[in-house]
Amino acid sequence: MLSLASFSSHADAPIKVSAQANQIAQENIIVDGHIDVPYRVHKKWEDVSVATEGGDFDYPRAKKGGLTAPFMSIYVPASLDNSAESTAVAHQLIDLVEAMVYRSPDKFAIAKSVADVKAQFKKGLISLPMGMENGSPLQGSMENLKTFYERGIRYITLAHSLSNHISDSSYDLRRQWHGLSPFGKEVVVEMNNLGIMVDISHVSDEAFYQAIEISKVPVIASHSSLRKYTPGFERNMDDKMVKALGENNGVIMINFGSSFVSKETQDWRNNLTKRKNALIKEVGEDSPQVAEFDEKYRKENPYPYSTLEQVLDHIDHVVELIGIDHVGIGSDYDGVGDSLPVGLKDVSSYPNLIQGMLDRGYSRADIEKVLSGNLLRVWSEVEEYAASH
């Protein structure tokens, strides 16, 4: 989840989607590793079982796009770290996912296993597995970990935008643990034992390497892209990390947010921050000029949206580095504001991605691995390990 102010609107260029691409979307399970619907409806309630004005996800658009297993992100802001409220908010968000299912049992179903996803797909239901973004709700308690597992949490992103009691964050310059905390190292072991996937999106490089060293099963990056295309952006993964993830047999699920995908967008954002900070230094934080700065800057410097082609470049590069078995989709829909690429603006857009892969020569079997096969393989391995421990 990344809070962004709304940017100027951008009309999508029309993408010609073949009958084959639509067929692949409708006939296969599509898993998206990270969609921020729970926090979206927590802030402002919307009934996503019907078409909604705002947001990137609702039932009609999901059905149109073929989305069948979006991981609902149980996102807890880093500002709530080290507080009981952190744990309470996580439970409230799980309650909201359960309420979505309770209100529309003909459309949605909670999925706690790979078997659930497959069975619900056959029934025409959209599965709602859950992943926790930010491990702070654990509050140092293995009992909390077990409770969240029982409620349906099937991956945990160890940290978010700040270092917490589990792990250092890629966004936080303070590296208090130099990777994982002592408790964090124990948590990885216990997540393996329970059957919760370890998600290394957001963590520092040191924490990433420690997590894959400790974990007895493959790990995932639920919504990360590649540093090759965004130099200096540690939130993404560099080639060495991707190779290590491949050796771990894990999966990187590509984030669609423009600033995750494009150097141009990164540069735009960095320049905005630099110029705004300079203005604050010159005229003071409370100046009307500062209040008006963002809107003025965006008007003079239109937001450089990334493209479907650039997202495909990230997929291609993972395949070049470690093969087709280690890449998936982690769009971050409803989590990156109005920063989504041209051609991938909401959950109706997966056929565009499929068409792009077909155009680049991917076989149907390979596309199916990216859509869900790779993530379901990792989840199955995690389930099997937990069942034997």
Domain that holds residue 277: 263-303
Is residue 301 classed as helix, strand or coil in its secondary structure? coil
Do 65 and 141 sit in the same domain of this protein?
yes
Alpha carbon distance 158, 136 (integer Å):
8
The Cα–Cα gap between 145 and 166 comes to: 12
Residue 72 and residue 347: Cα distance in Å, rounded?
A: 13
Q: What is the pLDDT of residue 14?
A: 72
Say if 10 falls within a structural domain.
Answer: no
Report pLDDT for 4. Answer: 39
- The pLDDT tens digits of the residues spanning 342-358 come to 999 999 999 999 999 99
Q: Are residues 199 and 290 in the same domain?
A: no
Q: Which long-range contacts (CB under 8 A, 24 or more apart) does 262-266 make?
A: 262/229, 262/230, 262/304, 262/306, 262/310, 263/229, 263/230, 263/231, 264/304, 264/306, 265/303, 265/304, 265/305, 265/306, 265/339, 266/230, 266/232, 266/233
pLDDT digits (tens, 9 = 90+) for 265-301: 989 988 999 999 999 999 999 999 989 999 999 899 9
What was the pLDDT predicted at 2? 47
Q: What is the pTM of this model?
A: 0.93
In a domain, 7, yes or no: no
Amino acid at 111: A
Per-residue pLDDT, 1: 52
Task: Indicate if 216 and 356 belong to the same structural domain.
Answer: yes
Kindly tell me if the per-residue pLDDT of 7 is higher than 60.
no
In a domain, 14, yes or no: no
Same domain for 181 and 33: yes
More confident residue, 338 or 167: 167
pLDDT above 90: percentage of residues in the chain: 92
Largest CA distance in the chain: 63
Pairing of strands 108-110, 130-133: unpaired
Is 70 exceeded by the pLDDT of residue 119?
yes
Instruction: Answer yes or no: do 279 and 258 share one domain.
Output: no
pLDDT digits (tens, 9 = 90+) for 186-229: 999 999 999 999 999 999 999 999 999 999 999 999 999 999 99
- Per-residue pLDDT, averaged over 32-41, amounts to 98
Q: How many domains does the chain have?
A: 2
Q: Are residue 291 and residue 323 in the same domain, yes or no?
A: no
Q: If pLDDT is split at 50, 70 and 90, which confidence band does 15 have?
A: confident
Chain mean pLDDT for the chain: 95
Would you say residue 98 lies in a domain? yes
Looking at the fold, whether 110 and 145 belong to one and the same domain comes out as yes
